[in-house]
Amino acid sequence: MSIHQAQTKNEKMNHSDNLRLSGHSSKEVESRLREETQGQGSSQDADDTSLAPPDGGIWAWLCVVGSHLAILNNWGVINSFGAFQSHYVQTLNRTPSDIAWIGSLEIFFLFFIGAFTGRLTDAGYFRCVAITGSTLIVLGTMLASICTQYWQFILTQGVCVGLGNGCLFCPTIALVSTYFEKRRSLAIGIAASGSCTGGIVFPALVRQLLPRIGFGWTMRTIGFMQAGTMVIALVMLKSRLPPRRTGPMIDWVAFRELEYVFYAVGSFMCFWGTYFAFFFLATYARDIQGMSYAASLDLLMIINGVGFLGRLFPSHLADKYGAMNMYICWVAVCSLLIYVWAGVSSKAGLYVWTVVCGIALGGIPSLFPSGLASLTMDPSKQGSRIGMVFTVVSFGFLTGPSIEGALISALDGRYIAGQVFAGTSLAVSLVFITTAREIKRRRTGLKVWVKI
């Protein structure tokens, strides 16, 4: 008998004695104890039921829509950075590697403060964190509209917008995962497809408005759009679980789980190479293929637009066959496609490659958090444990595009070294993520071909 069971038994005996001393008969005592025991059991069952993910319902799907709008305003802008990369290289007279630091900082802070904002979400402060993030994104965009120097863009579009991204992305993904279990990957995929929506809308705005009203009012228009959509998103986003006030900011116990560690390292390597195409496709189209600025933005919109399929299709398969299984498959395909890019020699071939690679790359941002969520059994720790891995992969985002840009500059504008670096990073990540899956499979005693 456990200590808890012994304590429970003693409490029942003391309560029984008190009832008898109060003048109750033996039958009345037994009846009262039975009713109280049943009442406690039903209360426990009710609590367990209320904490279980509903896997649907009005608030669950509103949360998905709200997360889609929130991610539109952070990942959507990041996926559109190729449009700004091209413009800044021309107007600021800086190297591609220098300009890439602006976008790298945006993504770095989006992930780096994930452990902090994720833990605040678990503690019940989602609303405060989300409002702070929305304010920083709009403020940074508006301030960027009056910038003229490189360091000013670093502070506004890089740091300020990046911190706002970090306050929104991890908490919204963690929030969606608390509403779904069986359809979690699909829900996260729909939310993550906001990056595709933004990746179409923002380059289209830049293409249409920049020649007509100039850079300043183009950025202000984007800022006003972000403000309006974020207000709608904040109305739809609502915390479901009771706050987890106690517990450390970082759940160090998670790093004792080898599958968690290998998954984190593998994802770091994955994102070292994933966003090479989003940052440098437009400049590659102009520098190597001789395409116009407008045509290069068309490619950027295509790679983001077809990403809808990449977000939703693998997410549907992940719910059926396992998020980690699909993550492994998609990383393998993306690695191969980045290598193939080095062999593309015509404009027609580049368009075909852009469509295929856009679908493949689109699956990575939605499968990554879905697989990560499957490693956490306690829903109350989803925010902190997802945020911790986000912090790890943030350094991949910070350094990856800049390394690739430096490799391009080192080879006098040739992209082959950057392509090989990105493809190899994805190939190495495949080894780590596959190892994480195998460790989890053996730990749980599952068969080789099983849903994980």
Between residues 7 and 328, which one has the greater pLDDT?
A: 328
Q: Which two tokens stand for residue 297?
A: 């933005």
Q: What pLDDT is recorded for position 218?
A: 95
CA distance 173 to 187: 10
Chain segment 353-390, per-residue pLDDT in tens: 999 999 999 888 888 888 887 787 776 676 778 888 88
Between residues 334 and 83, which one has the greater pLDDT?
A: 334
DSSP code of 55? S
Q: What pLDDT is recorded for position 230?
A: 96
pLDDT over 90 percentage in the chain: 44
User: How much is the average pLDDT of 183-192?
Assistant: 86
| Range with lowest mean pLDDT among 12-21, 82-91, 271-280 | 12-21
* Of residues 57, 330, 265, 267, the one with CA closest to residue 176: 57
Chain segment 26-76, per-residue pLDDT in tens: 555 455 545 544 444 444 444 444 577 888 889 999 999 999 999 999 888
* Of residues 69, 97, 99, the one with CA closest to residue 83: 99
| Range with lowest mean pLDDT among 11-20, 123-132, 205-214, 341-350 | 11-20
Q: What pLDDT is recorded for position 156?
A: 97
Exposure letters 219-232 (e unless 16+ CB within 10 A, then b): bbbbbebbbebbee
Q: Which two tokens stand for residue 395?
A: 């350094």
**Count of beta carbons in the 10 Å neighbourhood of residue 349:** 14
Q: What pLDDT is recorded for position 173?
A: 85
User: How much is the average pLDDT of 391-414?
Assistant: 89
Q: What pLDDT is recorded for position 312?
A: 83
| pLDDT, the chain, mean | 84
* Of residues 93, 86, 91, 81, the one with CA closest to residue 295: 86
Q: Which two tokens stand for residue 439?
A: 């460790």
Sequence length of the chain is 452
CB 55 within 8 A of CB 45: no
Q: Give Cα separations from 213 to 12, 46, 163, 200 (angstroms).
A: 78, 59, 28, 20
Q: What pLDDT is recorded for position 3?
A: 40
CB 87 within 8 A of CB 256: no
- Listed in sequence order, the residues at least 6 apart from 117 whose beta carbon sits closer than 8 Å to its beta carbon are 129, 133, 166, 167, 170, 171, 383, 387
| Range with lowest mean pLDDT among 11-20, 178-187, 299-308, 396-405 | 11-20
Extract the runs of DSSP E, i.e. beta strands, from 180-289.
Answer: none
- Listed in sequence order, the residues at least 6 apart from 220 whose beta carbon sits closer than 8 Å to its beta carbon are 141, 142, 145
CA distance 280 to 408: 10
- Listed in sequence order, the residues at least 6 apart from 279 whose beta carbon sits closer than 8 Å to its beta carbon are 81, 82, 85, 100, 103, 401, 404, 405
Positive/negative CA dihedral, 217, 218, 219, 222: positive
Q: What pLDDT is recorded for position 34?
A: 52
Q: How confident is the model at residue 162 (pLDDT cuts 50, 70, 90)?
A: very high
Residue written as tokens 């503690």? 123
Report whether CATH 1.20.1250.20 matches the domain 57-242+251-444.
Answer: yes
Residue 243 has pLDDT above 60, yes or no: yes
| Range with lowest mean pLDDT among 15-29, 92-106, 159-173, 313-327 | 15-29
Q: What pLDDT is recorded for position 36?
A: 47
Q: Taking the model in full, what pTM does it have?
A: 0.75
Residue 166 has pLDDT above 80, yes or no: yes
Chain segment 6-20, per-residue pLDDT in tens: 444 444 444 444 444
Q: What pLDDT is recorded for position 29?
A: 43
* Of residues 125, 120, 135, the one with CA closest to residue 73: 135
Long-range contacts of 208-214 (CB under 8 A, 24+ apart): 210/87
Where are the chain's structural domains? 57-242+251-444
* Of residues 446, 385, 381, 434, the one with CA closest to residue 259: 434
DSSP code of 343? T
**Count of beta carbons in the 10 Å neighbourhood of residue 256:** 8
Half-sphere exposure of 416 (CA within 13 A, CB side): 5
